Amino acid sequence: MKNKKRGFWQEAIRVTKENDPTARTGLEVLLTYPGVKALAAHRFSHWLWKHNFKLWARMNSQFWRFWTQIEIHPGAKIAHGVFIDHGSGLVIGETAIVETNVKLYHGVTLGGTGKDKGKRHPTVRQGALISAHSQLLGPIEIGENAKVGAGAVVVSDVPSDVTVVGIPAKVVRVKGQKDSDKISTIEEKREASYHASHLQHDDQRNRGVSSPREK
């Protein structure tokens, strides 16, 4: 991938300049952007975590949490090209996956519900935008180029190329358009999938069997 060939620091500078018009120089980005520092620190924390230096990984992540106000669990998988704007209050859980070109704003939570084991945090596909103070909870998936509005609470999968807002989050646009028929169809499928998933999850839990998302 081009992102990997470019290197983390060069990629971080490029992504920041593309997404923030106030970013003037590479040195300014490296010295003054907490999101860049948090992502750089996470790369080392994640390396420690993968090599079974769990305590050191947690200590490093907690140190940088103090300095950046951004909490990223060392077990989280975060691709190159992710942009964190402002970042204060951002939380990313252990089993979260964040793909390339995702934008995350301050106050966002990629968290669990307290009910799942194993894979229990969100997966955010490439190009998605997660606005300020939105809460993404559980082993859900946010599709490519999807947009989550500020303050939304998302507890079910979000398809690609849609915009969701509200509590709980509902689809309001498809590819930037307010198409009532498409929105209704997507919402019906989301609701059916949500209830089916929870019924299966509850049944398996009652029988002591792990669901695919818990493995």
- pTM comes to 0.86
In the block, residue with structure tokens 């003054």: 32
Regions of the chain with pLDDT less than 50? 1-4, 212, 214-215
pLDDT at 115: 73
First to last CA, the chain: 29
Determine the pLDDT at residue 1. 40
pLDDT confidence of residue 211 = 52
Domain locations along the chain: 76-215
Task: State residue 111's pLDDT score.
Answer: 96
The answer to whether the beta carbons of residues 89 and 107 sit under 8 Å apart is: yes
123-124 vs 97-98, strand pairing mode: parallel
DSSP characters over 175-190: TTB--HHHHHHHHHHH
Question: What local confidence, expressed as pLDDT, does residue 151 receive?
Answer: 97
Which pLDDT score is estimated for 5?
53
pLDDT of residue 215: 46
pLDDT at 72: 98
Fold of the domain spanning 76-215? UDP N-Acetylglucosamine Acyltransferase; domain 1 (2.160.10)
Q: What pLDDT is stored for residue 2 in this prediction? A: 46
Q: Looking at residue 194, what is its pLDDT?
A: 79
pLDDT per residue over 131-166, tens digit each?
Answer: 999 999 999 999 999 999 999 999 999 999 999 999
Give the span between the Cα atoms of 75 and 77, in whole angstroms: 6
| Residue position matching structure tokens 């209050």 | 89
Residue 92: predicted pLDDT: 98
| Predicted pLDDT at 205 | 61
pLDDT recorded at residue 84: 97
